[in-house]
Amino acid sequence: MSYLAIVFTFVFAGNVLFGYGAGTCAGPAGMRATSGRLAAFSAMASVGLVATVLHVAILRYALYPLGLEALEPLSYVLIVVILLYALTSALASGVGPLAEAGRVAREQVLSCVVYAAALSAARKGFSVAEAAAAGVAAVAGWWCAVVLLDRILDRLELEDVPPALRGQPLRFLSAGLMAMAVSGVDRILISRLAG
């Protein structure tokens, strides 16, 4: 599968918001603010990239050869989270924009979005470079879906919505409609588009 097809798949068809229900996961604190949005996305994408590469490397070179695939979630928690938390804590201890990015990234180490991105990329049998592209694309797909969902909900606040549907019910309905909208993007379409 080409890198274009991998990115297209994980942004649309393999979107972690729809596939794993990660829409209720906490996003970065600066996600709603326009000024902090790019820094928050960059930090989250870098955490997703490192988490995916470490997770795939641990699976491919340690757990699969030893026949210990069942320890996949435990290895993710013990190794990936510890390493990422140490790295982001070291970044956050400084001063300046790199320290701010480290603080935002440290918030996201424990996010289920990062875990869902790493898990979905690791289970496809990609090489390490393909899994890295898939991990970043999965985070980007989640980001785009959450921003779009927030925009839809902001617009729906201006409409006359029944009180029983306000809040989480409306969020789930909107996410379900978005999931149906991208469900037509499948492997056959991607193979025709990307080759």
Report residue 100 as tokens: 């701010």
| Residue 3: C-alpha distances to residues 12, 18, 59 (Å) | 14, 22, 21
Print pLDDT tens along the chain (195 aa).
677 777 777 777 666 666 655 555 655 554 544 445 676 777 777 777 888 888 888 888 888 889 888 888 888 777 777 877 787 777 777 777 667 767 777 776 666 667 777 777 777 778 888 888 888 888 888 788 778 888 888 888 888 888 888 877 887 788 777 777 766 666 566 666 655
The pLDDT of residue 193: 61
pLDDT of res. 34 = 46
pLDDT score for 23: 54
pLDDT of residue 109: 67
pLDDT at 191: 62
Count of CB atoms situated within 10 Å of the CB of 68: 13
Alpha helices (H) in the chain, listed in sequence order: 3-8, 16-19, 37-58, 64-66, 72-75, 82-92, 97-108, 112-122, 128-156, 168-182, 187-194
- DSSP characters over 131-181: HHHHHHHHHHHHHHHHHHHHHHHHHHTTS---GGGTTHHHHHHHHHHHHHH
